[in-house]
Structure formats: C-alpha cells, structure tokens
Amino acid sequence: MPLRDNTADHAATDRTFQVDLRGLVDLLSHHLYSSPRVYLRELMQNAVDALTARHAIESHGAFGIRLYADGSVVRVEDDGVGLTEADVHTFLATIGRSSKRAEGIAEQRADFIGQFGIGLLSCFLVADEIHVLSRSARTPDAPAVEWRGRGDGSYTVRTLPASARPRPGTTVTLTPRADAEEWTRPAQVHALARHFGSLLRHPVTFDDGTGGPGAPVNPEPAPWTGTYPTPGARSRALAAYGEEVFGFKPLDTIELDLPAVGLKGIACVLPEAVPAGRRHGHRVHVKGMLLSEQAEEILPEWAFFVRCVVDAESLRPTASRESLYEDDTLAAVRDALAERLRDWIARAAASDPDLLGRFLQAHHLAVKSLAVHDDEILRMLLPWLPFETTDGHCTLDEFARTHRTVLVTSSVEEFRQVAAIASAAGLGVVNGGYTYDRELVHRLPEIRPEATVADLDPATLTAHLDPVDRETELAAAAYLAQARDALAVFDCDVALRTFQPVSAPALLIDSREARHERTRSQLAREQEGGLWGDILGALRQEAPRAQLILNQLNPLVRTAVAIDEPELARTSVEALYGQAAMLSRRPLRPAESSLINRSFLDLLAHALRKDS
C-alpha cells in the first residue's frame, strides 16, 4: 500500500516574533548601555540627526535644541525635520527601524550620528512612558502628531491641530520614575548635556524651570576650529582645553587633523611617566557628540604617553554608540595618528632639545619600546635616550664618545656586581637589565658605526684585574685552599687579585645562567636514577663556577690571608663571601643567609674572647 503524502495536512504558517519590551529594556540596560545616563545622549543625538535632516531640505534657518528639566519632567525639543503620522507608525512603533531610512534621506545617512533605530528605547531606563509631539517640516500643512509609548509595549497615536505645535520639529517628554532621580535632577541633566554635547555644532540650551534665560550647553566651539592671532595663542588655547578636559597641564599638545575622515583634535602629552603598557582611554566625539571617554583603540599600544580628544565624521560607532567599530577605516585612522606622534617626536628632536629632554625624562620607557620596533625613531632618538652606566645616568651618545667599546650586562644584578670595579678599571659598562635596554644598546653601531658593543662576561672583567706577584700568592696559598673548601658548597672558586677601588675587599662574579645551571645539576644529582633526573641530566651544560675574587690591595684582605687559625680563616672567608653577595644585590639563597648570620656571630664571639 503506497504511503500517503501528508504535506497538505501540515502546511507551514508564517508567524511574527513577539517582543517582550520590558525584557528588551532590561537587556539594553544591563548589556548594551553602560549606564542609564545614556538616555539623554540618545535624545540629543536624535535631535541632532533631525536638525541635520532639516538642513538637507532647508539650508537656511536658525535651528537648535532646547533642554528642560525641573525635577518632575525632562524635555528635549528640536527644530528638526519632524514626523508625520505615517512616520510615527513606521519608525516609533517598530523596534530597530531608524527614521534615517526615510525616503529622501537614505542617501544622506553618513551625515547622521545614529544608525541603529533603537535609541529611543533607552528612555525606558529612566521613565515608564515616553511622550512625543512632532510636526513635519516636509509637509507644511501636516497636523501635529502625538505618540505615547509605554514600557509594557503599548502605545497610542493621535493627530492634533497644527496649533498644538506651531513650528516644525519634535518634543520628547519623560516623566521620570522615582528610582531614576539620580539621572534626571536638573543639575544632573545639565551636567550630562554638557558632558555629551559640548562639541555639538548646533546650539543647545538648558532651562531648569526657574524662569531665567536658558543656559548654553555648548557656548564655545571646539578650540581647533577657531582662528587665533598667533601660533603661540593657538597653542595656549589648545593646552588650556586639554587641561580642562583631562585635569593635567600637558607637557605639549599635538594637533591632529585627518581631512580624509573629517577628524580633528589634539593629543596631550602627559607630564609624568606612566607604567609601561598601561593604556589610557581617549575622548572620541562623532559629529560633535561624545561617543566614549575610554576609546583605547584610536591609538596604538605604544602611544601610552598621550591622551587624545578628537571629533570625527567617518568613524563608525557600535550599536551602543559607546565605542568604535573595528574596521579598515579605524585601522587607517590609528596608523595615521601614530604617524602624527612620530612627526612630533622628530620635530622636537630637530628643533626643541629642551622639550625633547623633558619628554624623555618622563617617557623614556615608552620611547624605548617604540624604538625597538621603529627604525626611524631608533635613528632619531637612540643617541638621546638615558641609560644607567658606569659613568652614571647619561645618553648613549655621550657614553660612546668616552668608551669606544661599550659593554652591556644582561641583568641589573650583574651590573650591580661589577659597576664599581669596572668603573675603576676604566671599562664602559651599560646596565642592560631594564626592559628594552640591552637590545637597544646592541643597535648603537647602526647609529655610530665607530662604536663597538659586546656583552659583558666574567672573563672580560677578570682579564682587567691585575694578578698578584708569585710570592704573595704562595704566602696566601693555605688560606685560599681553606677558602675554596669552605665555599665549595656554593660551587664557588676563590682567587686573589689586585683591583680598584681599594675599599672593595671582594668581588663576587656569578651570572644568573651559571646559578641556574648549578641548581639544575643539584636537582639532577638528587633525582639520580629517576625519569626527572634523566631529563635534567640531559639538559645539563658546562657552566663556569662562581668566583670570589679577593682584593689584595684591601687592608682587611691582607690581614685575613695571613690568618693561621683554620676556624677563624674559614669564618673570615664566609664573611667576605656574604658581604660580596649582599653587595651584588641579588636575592640570597637560604644557605647564604644562614652563612652570613653564622659568620657574623662567629666573628663577634671571636672578638669577645680576644678582648677577655
């Protein structure tokens, strides 16, 4: 029997999604917008876009935005393009549809701030009802339209006589909930309006209901749009604006201008150092409306020595309009702004050494991180960068004039060990233990071909220490044998040399790599016969032992090598080792800390017995 086709019995039925408006508002408040305060930004943004649309059809006219808040209502009124009854049904009652899609405006969408059609819903973050009264400028004889939307998803629409709104435009009125008072008080509304709209190109005023004249929200245009009598006056105005916005007096201001994307603004150079890698947020306005105060993505990571405030035409905001959409345009803007910062550094290096010096004093680490990856910055600034050397803190250019061969340590610890001895021996050593320093010092010959750079190793240093005469060494042989035996537990050899300064009794030469190898070898011996021991044994390399070099020129050492009492000789060499280890400023191992305590107490006991 053939199977029956049941297709006709189960025909598909088209249905529409049911939207839970309260759930959607909760989603917006907790996941899209960072704070309920954005409701005012969204209302102002819609007003600005309405004005932009009206200018497209009516280029002449004094159009603006008026805000009102008296504690019981918040009202935003604009002289924009307005809405017809059909527009209200189409755009205000359909979630996600933007009025910027209206006929005759679609081709001008790039002129608008908002692009997503959900901004009005943000008002439900602070109110349960939104009242909109609008009259269209496209249809002069059209009636006024009233729309009331409620948080439960219902709305009403009715037409009113034209006298209900004599002029075209839109008025949005909110009656705040009690729990939204924090964001709807008159003073707060005024502060939020200034915060978001200080750079808007249309006039915005605020009225607190006390009967006085409306206070201007954006009385001054962006400082970079103004004309000034002199370059100095312009520079001072930009610096004053940067100080007002960021709360610090900039070391300098860098004017930013990218005509291709309509971006203008300033970068303020921080007057003090910041931790490497710490990125500051930047203030980004889009068409005058503040988008974000924490837009890290506008500059590359290495530019953490500046904070920017910019206004752009062509950058795309995300749906929340609180950050920038990562696309090719943003990447190109980031690269172009980075080039502006490089140009500023180059100008300072070429024409303002005092400014460059103050900048490098505060931000040398940031510049070093940039120079590692940027050959142009390397060539410009490496001679100017400060380094810790055996001649003190100085630039590599100064140091290379005195020392044709520049030696560089691999760690701060190694530099601390050898600095005094190397300086007395006439060796030029640079501390390469800080971030980027060793790599940059090795690139010095690219800037000064006559300079030679080499890593400092124990053999290089010991080669500059003078040997003692044969008779002195023979006389100290017994002491040196006891010293080697006492320090065998630390894999440390002992030698007698003469070196400056005389005040240094001993020098401990011990690289980090050698210590690591000795630790690995010790673990291998302890784990001998097991899998872990075999692995460590396979990794073992021949590494030089540590060296305790005693200074024959030091009076204390000359006295010590003549000691004929075995226990006292052992205690003295342990004390010399402990003192040299502490001077190296490296972390002490538990056995070394114990040795230092024991040798001190033994020497104190010996001195007390001798006195008694």
Tell me the CA end-to-end span of the chain in Å, nearest whole number: 124
Report yes or no: 427 and 461 within 8 Å, Cβ to Cβ.
Answer: yes
Q: Residue 556, class by beta-carbon neighbours within 10 Å (0-12 exposed, 13-18 middle, 19+ buried)?
A: middle
Report yes or no: 406 and 417 within 8 Å, Cβ to Cβ.
Answer: no
Long-range contacts at 476-481 (CB < 8 A, ≥ 24 apart): 476/561, 478/564, 479/560, 479/561, 479/562, 479/563, 479/569, 479/573, 480/561
Structure tokens at 129: 């009802």
In angstroms, what is the C-alpha Rg of the chain? 38
Backbone phi, psi, residue 248, to 5°: -140, 155
Q: Residue 427, class by beta-carbon neighbours within 10 Å (0-12 exposed, 13-18 middle, 19+ buried)?
A: buried
Backbone phi, psi, residue 568, to 5°: -70, -40
Q: Is 23 helix (H, G, I), strand (E, B) or coil?
A: helix
Q: Residue 412, class by beta-carbon neighbours within 10 Å (0-12 exposed, 13-18 middle, 19+ buried)?
A: middle
Q: Which amino acid is at 532?
A: W
Residue located via tokens 């005759």 = 104
Residue 134: closest CA among 200, 210, 63, 79 = 79
CA pair distance 527, 537, nearest whole angstrom: 10
Report yes or no: 250 and 271 within 8 Å, Cβ to Cβ.
Answer: yes
The annotation status of 390 as a binding-site residue, yes or no, is no
Q: Which residues pair with 131 in a beta bridge?
A: 148, 173
The annotation status of 46 as a binding-site residue, yes or no, is yes
Compute the C-alpha angle 573/579/584, nearest 5°: 125
Beta strands (DSSP E) in 484-592 are 492-498, 506-509, 546-551
The annotation status of 243 as a binding-site residue, yes or no, is no
Q: Which residues are annotated as a binding site for ATP?
A: 42, 46, 78, 170
Q: Which residues are annotated as a binding site?
A: 42, 46, 78, 170
